[in-house]
Amino acid sequence: MNAHIASVSFTRGAHATARAVSLTARQLSEVELGLFLLSQLSPSAPPTALPALLNGSDLLGAERPVWTAKQHKYWQRGQLLLARFREPSVWNRLIERYALLTGTLAAYDVSGDRSCFREKSVGFFRNRTATFRQMLA
């Protein structure tokens, strides 16, 4: 299956409209890799903080502890793999769409106000976070 062509579409519960949420397989994996990176480097940061993290912005500096060598490696690889998300508008559009996904497809729950996120158990490809860890290692 070509990751650029495959898409995932469905509507959200009773509040569903004619507009379905749609993400390509690539977009889904990139968003989850970004959320995984945030969870490893700045777990208390909101999901919208990824561009600041990738840009090395001081926005996260006040709360960021001293990183281990492994965390520095994650950050450097994340900067390469997720370079297009240095632009906040690109990331925010995708995180908004990702947050509307329901069911077992998404590996993370993102709060409605985008202030926090957490990993969840998923029925579809349960080993995604292990895969992300390997991608960044």
Confidence of residue 106 (pLDDT cuts 50, 70, 90): confident
What are the tens digits of pLDDT across the range 9-19? 433 443 443 34
pLDDT for res 126: 60
**Using one digit for the tens of pLDDT, what is the confidence trace for 26-36?**
999 999 999 99
Q: What is the pLDDT of residue 73?
A: 94
Whether residue 78 contacts residue 136, with contact meaning beta carbons closer than 8 Å, is answered with yes
CA distance linking residue 5 with residue 1, whole number of Å: 8
From CA 119, how far away is CA 100, in angstroms rounded? 15
Cβ atoms of 120 and 107 closer than 8 Å = yes
Query: 68 or 8, which is more confident?
Result: 68
pLDDT score recorded for residue 3: 40
Least confident among 2-6, 63-67, 94-98, 119-123: 2-6
Q: Is the pLDDT of residue 104 over 80?
A: no
Q: Does position 22 have pLDDT exceeding 90, yes or no?
A: no
Reported as a single tens digit per residue, the pLDDT across 51-73 is 999 998 755 555 556 889 999 99
Indicate the SS3 state at residue 40: helix
Q: Which of 22, 11, 33 is nearest to 119 (CA)?
A: 33
pTM of the model: 0.77
